[in-house]
Amino acid sequence: MKCSYCLKEFPDEELDLSHDIPQYMGGTDADGRHYLCNGCHKKYELLIINKCFYFLGFQEVYEEKISSACYYLKSFGEPLHSIFRVFAEEVKEEFYGT
């Protein structure tokens, strides 16, 4: 199967079914999902996380801090999740060119 971003072939077990709007921001299957390889999935997550962190006035997050950054963003809840979802939609458009 191919990664939806880099279009390289990968065994199924090396692809993640990624939510276009992360679940920690309230995303669901209805928001869209794509198969991404591990590298592209991390890149996509970091783009969303860093857009949110920039908005909050925080420093850039690096790959090794993805899980703690997701947990931190999840802790905000509404109304910030609504703003984060807008950022995620922007990243989705930029990332997939839609």
pLDDT range class, residue 15, cuts 50, 70, 90:
very high
| pLDDT score of 24 more than 90 | no
Question: Contact, 73 vs 59, CB < 8 A?
Answer: no
- pLDDT, averaged across the chain: 92
User: pLDDT at position 97, please?
Assistant: 85
Q: What is the pTM (predicted TM-score) of this model?
A: 0.89
Q: What is the pLDDT of residues 26-74, one digit of tens each?
A: 889 999 999 999 999 999 999 999 999 999 999 999 989 999 999 999 9
Length in residues, the chain: 98
User: pLDDT at position 98, please?
Assistant: 64
| pLDDT score of 77 more than 90 | no
SS3 letters for 53-98?
HHHHCCCCCCHHHHHHHHHHHHCCCCCHHHHHHHHHHHHHHHHHCC
Cβ-based neighbours of 34, under 8 Å, separated by 6 or more: 4, 5, 17, 18, 20, 96
Instruction: Return the half-sphere exposure (C-beta side, CA atoms, 13 A cut-off) of residue 72.
Output: 12
Domain layout of the chain by residue ranges: 12-96
